[in-house]
Amino acid sequence: MSDSLDLGEPPQPKGAAYRVLARKYRPQTFRELIGQDAMVTTLANAIKRDRLAHAFLLTGVRGVGKTSTARLIAKALNCIGPDGQGGPTIDPCGVCEPCRAIAEGRHIDVIEMDAASHTGIDDIREIIEASRYAAVSARYKIYIIDEVHMLSKAAFNGLLKTLEEPPGHVKFLFATTEVNKVPVTVLSRCQRFDLKRIPADLLAGHFAEVSRAEGVEAEPDALALVARAAEGSARDGLSILDQAIAHAGIEGGAVTADAVRDMLGLSDRGAIRTLFGKLLEGDAAGALANLRQQYDLGVDPTAVLKTLLETVHGATLVKIGADMAGTGQAAEERAALTDWATALSFPALHRLWQLLLKGHDEVARAALPIETAEMALLRVIHASSLPDPGELARQIASGGVPAPATGQGAAPAAPAASAPTAEAVLPATLRDVHTLLDASDRMRLAVDVWHRLRVVSFAFPEIILSNLTPLPADLPKELAAELRVLTGKTWKVTLSPTAGDPTLAEQSAAAEEATRAAVLATPMVAAALAAFPGAELKDYKLAGGFQA
C-alpha cells in the first residue's frame, strides 16, 4: 500500500479574468461615444483646422464618458495611422502602436493621474518638471488628471503658470464631476466641455447592442428599466445590466422586466397604475390595500411615492403634447398616461403633484414610513373630494354660494367717506374732516388727522380729542382754523384726558384684517389652502356683492 496521498486531478489553468461590461464596452472611437455629438463635432473641427487648445476640461455626472473621452482625445492627437504617416484625426485608427498603447494604458507619453489620491503640490511639481522634456515617442505628451477638483489650493496655484503657457508638445486633459470646486483661474485657462446625461432611449439602444454582443436575450422593457435606473450614466447602466445578466443566468437565461424590477426593488408599473387609478377614484380602502401589497413584496414606500410622482409628471407632459415615445416607457403605460392626461385638468395635475411631493418628503424622513405613506395617500384622496376652487369662485361671483358673514370678533367696517355737498357742507365725522383736508391739498394736516387723532366727541361746533397720546401743541388751533376756511363756520377743537376712538389708520387696518379673515374663510380659499399645504394668501380682489 502506497503512503503517497491522492491529490486528485492537477489544477487546471485559469482562463482570462472576467471583465465587467462597463470596462469591456468602453468606447474606443468617437463614433462609439453616445450622446455627446456636440462635443465630438467641436473637436473634429478643431483638429481639422489645427486649432487645438492646450488644456481641456471635461465635466459631467459620473459615467457619461469623461475619462474615456480624455483617452480618445489622446489617441486622436497621437495617432499615426496604419502606415505610420498619419496626423491628428478625429477617427484614430486603433491599430498603430500609439493607439494600442494608449488603449491599454501603457503609453509612456500619456500620463494618467488620479487627483483624489495625488492632491498635493509635490505631485504637481513632478508634472511641471517632467513637462519641460519632449515626448519620448508620441507627437504630444498628454497629462490626464481625473477628479481634478480634489487638488489642493497650493497644487492648483502651482499648476497655473504651466497651464497658461505650457510647452508646445504638452496637452492637459482634466476631468471632474464637481466643476464648481475648480478655481476660476484654472477654468479660464481651459477649453471646457460639459458632457450631457445620456438620454434613456440612447442608453436602451446601447444596452440592446451589448446584450446581443454578449449573446444574452433581453426584453425591451427590461432594458428600458435599466436605462431609466442609470439616470443618464452609461457606466451605471452597464453595471446594472451586468447584474441583471447574472441574475438571468439563475432564472433561466433571459433578462426580463420583472426580474430587473425585483432586482432593483422598483415598484411594479402595473401596480402603480392601479394605485393611481384608485387614488383618482377616491377608493381609500383599495389604495391602502395596494400600497400594503407592494410593501409586503419589499418595495420601499418612498419608491412608491416617487413612481406616483413620475406618473403625474408623465401625464402632465402628455397633456402639453410632449412626445413620450423615447422615454423608455411601455406601450400600455403611455396609453394610460394619455387617458389620464385627457381626463385631468392642469389644476388637478398640479394639485396631485404638490400633494404627492409633500408626501414623498414626509415618508423619506419619517420614523414610520409605511404608515406615513398611507396617511399621504389618504390626504390625496381627501383633497380630491374638496370643491374645485375655480368652480367655487364662479359660484360666489354669481351669488350661488353665500359669502360668510362678519364674525362677532371682527372689527366693524369703517364708515364710507362722504364729501360735503352744497346743501350739507359740515363734516359729521373725523373721516369727513380727513376727506375735506385731502381734497384741499392740506396733506400734512390730513396725515396728522389720519394717524394721530382719537375722537372723544364730535358734534358741531365742537370736536373733543384725546390727549392721552401726545399731540403737537398747535394742532387743535390749526385744525379749527382750517375747518373755518373750508366750511365757513367757526369750530372749536379742545383736548381731553379721555381715551377716544381708534385713529382712522387703526380703523382702516382693522377693517382690512376683518376682510382678509372673511376671504380666508370662504370655501374657495379654504379649499385652495387645504390642497396646497404651506400656501399663503398674498393678495385678493373682492368680487361684487362680497361683504366682510
Q: Which domain CATH number covers 522?
A: 3.30.300
Mean pLDDT of 493-509: 89
| Contact indicator for 55, 161 with CB cutoff of 8 Å | no
In a domain, 1, yes or no: no
Other C-beta atoms closer than 10 Å to the C-beta of 184 total 7
Which CATH number characterizes residue 247's domain?
1.10.8.60
3-state secondary structure of 172: strand
Could you give the CA distance from residue 499 to residue 458 in angstroms, rounded to a whole number? 14
Query: Predicted confidence band at 546 (pLDDT cuts at 50, 70, 90)?
Result: low
Domain boundary, last residue among 221, 243, 264:
264
Task: Tell me the C-alpha distance between 126 and 143, whole Å.
Answer: 12
Element (H, E) at 204: helix 200-213
Residues 523 and 422 in one domain: yes
pLDDT at residue 28, as a whole number: 86
Cα–Cα distance between 491 and 3 in angstroms, integer? 138
Q: What confidence score (pLDDT) does residue 7 get?
A: 44
Same domain, 181 and 84: yes
Please tell me whether residues 222 and 287 are part of one structural domain. no
The most confident of 133-137, 375-379, 524-528, by mean pLDDT: 375-379
Q: How many structural domains is the chain composed of? A: 4
Cα–Cα dist 532/157, whole Å: 50
Question: Torsion angle, CA of 272/276/282/286, rounded to 10 degrees?
Answer: -10
Give Cα separations from 90 to 31, 41, 121, 263 (angstroms). 9, 9, 34, 40
Assign 372 a pLDDT band (cuts: 50, 70, 90). Answer: very high
Average pLDDT over residues 375-401: 65
Predicted confidence (pLDDT) at residue 94 exceeds the cutoff of 60? yes
* Least trusted range by pLDDT, from 256-270, 301-315, 392-406, 454-468: 392-406
From 245, 264, 283, the end of a domain falls on 264
Q: 317 in a domain, yes or no?
A: yes
Contact status, residue 404 vs residue 521, Cβ threshold 8 Å: yes
Q: Is the pLDDT of residue 412 over 50?
A: no
CB 492 within 8 A of CB 382: no
The rounded distance, in Å, linking the Cα atoms of 90 and 476 is: 91
* CA separation for the pair 21, 207 (Å, rounded): 10
Binning pLDDT at 50, 70 and 90, where does residue 394 land? low
Q: pLDDT by residue (tens digit) across 320-349?
A: 887 766 555 666 777 888 888 888 888 888
Cα gap 451→425, rounded to integer Å: 24
pLDDT at 204 over 80: yes
Distance between CA 193 and CA 175 in Å, rounded? 10
For 221-268, the DSSP string reads HHHHHHHHHHTT-HHHHHHHHHHHHHHHHHHTS-B-HHHHHHHHTPPP
pLDDT in tens, 441-472: 777 888 888 888 999 999 989 999 998 888 88
In a domain, 65, yes or no: yes
Q: Are residues 44 and 131 in the same domain?
A: yes
CA distance linking residue 380 with residue 484, whole number of Å: 66
**Are 133 and 40 contained in the same domain?**
yes
Burial of 357 (C-beta count, 10 Å sphere; 0-12/13-18/19+): middle
pLDDT band at 544 (very low <50, low <70, confident <90, very high): low
Q: How far is CA 325 from the centre of its chain?
A: 23
Cell 385744525, located at residue? 479
Q: In residues, how long is the chain?
A: 548
Res. 400 pLDDT band, cuts 50 70 90: low
pLDDT at 252: 53
CATH of the domain at 372: 1.20.272.10
Rounded to an integer, what is the distance from CA 180 to the centroid of its chain? Answer: 18
Residue of higher predicted confidence among 327 and 197? 197
Question: Per the structure block, which three cell numbers stand in for 310?
Answer: 413620475
DSSP β-ladder status, 141-146 and 492-496: unpaired
The pLDDT assigned to 1 comes to: 42
pLDDT of 108 strictly over 60: yes
Same domain, yes or no, for 205 and 149? no
Cα(488)–Cα(479) distance, integer angstroms: 13
Whether 61 contacts 53, CB under 8 Å: no
Share the mean pLDDT of the chain: 82
Cα 157 → chain centroid = 34
What's the rounded mean pLDDT across residues 275-279? Answer: 89
Confidence of residue 422 (pLDDT cuts 50, 70, 90): very low
168 and 44 in one domain?
A: yes
Q: Are residues 475 and 511 in the same domain?
A: yes
Q: What is the CB neighbour count within 10 angstroms for residue 204? A: 24
> What are the C-alpha distances in Å from 367 to residues 120, 144, 290, 354?
43, 46, 21, 22
pLDDT of residue 5: 44
Closest alpha carbon to 403 in 537, 520, 538, 507: 520
Q: How many CB atoms lie within 10 A of CB 451?
A: 11
Closest by CA position to 57, among listed 164, 175, 171: 175
Mean pLDDT of 413-427: 48
| Shared-domain flag, residues 234 and 307 | no
Query: Quick one: pLDDT at residue 308?
Result: 92
**Together in a domain, 331 and 451:** no
Res 326: pLDDT = 53
Whether 469 and 421 share a structural domain: yes
Task: List the domain range (segments joined by +) for residue 520.
Answer: 417-535
Could you tell me if residue 27 is inside a domain? yes
Distance CA 137, CA 109 (A): 7
- Out of 233, 264, 295, a domain closes at 264
- 524-533 pLDDT, tens digit each: 778 777 777 7
Least confident of 143-157, 337-351, 401-415: 401-415
Q: Report the distance separating Cα 528 and Cα 458, nearest Å.
A: 45
Domain at 88, CATH number: 3.40.50.300
Q: Is residue 360 scored above 90 in pLDDT?
A: yes
CA gap 388, 392 in Å, rounded: 6
| 122 has pLDDT over 50 | yes
What is the pTM assigned to this prediction? 0.56
Residues sharing a CB contact under 8 Å with residue 272, sequence separation 6 or more, in sequence order: 304, 307, 308, 311
Average pLDDT over residues 405-434: 55
How many Å is the Cα radius of gyration of the chain?
38
Q: Which residues have a Cβ under 8 Å from the Cβ of 240 and sit 6 or more positions away?
A: 226, 229, 230, 260, 264
pLDDT tens across 211-240, in order?
888 888 888 888 888 888 888 888 888 988
Q: Encode pLDDT of 38-72 as tens digits.
A: 888 888 888 888 888 899 999 988 888 888 899 99
C-alpha to C-alpha distance for 482 and 180, rounded to whole angstroms: 67
Per-residue pLDDT at 142 exceeds 90: yes
Q: Do 316 and 247 fall into the same domain?
A: no
> CB of 384 within 8 A of CB of 279?
yes
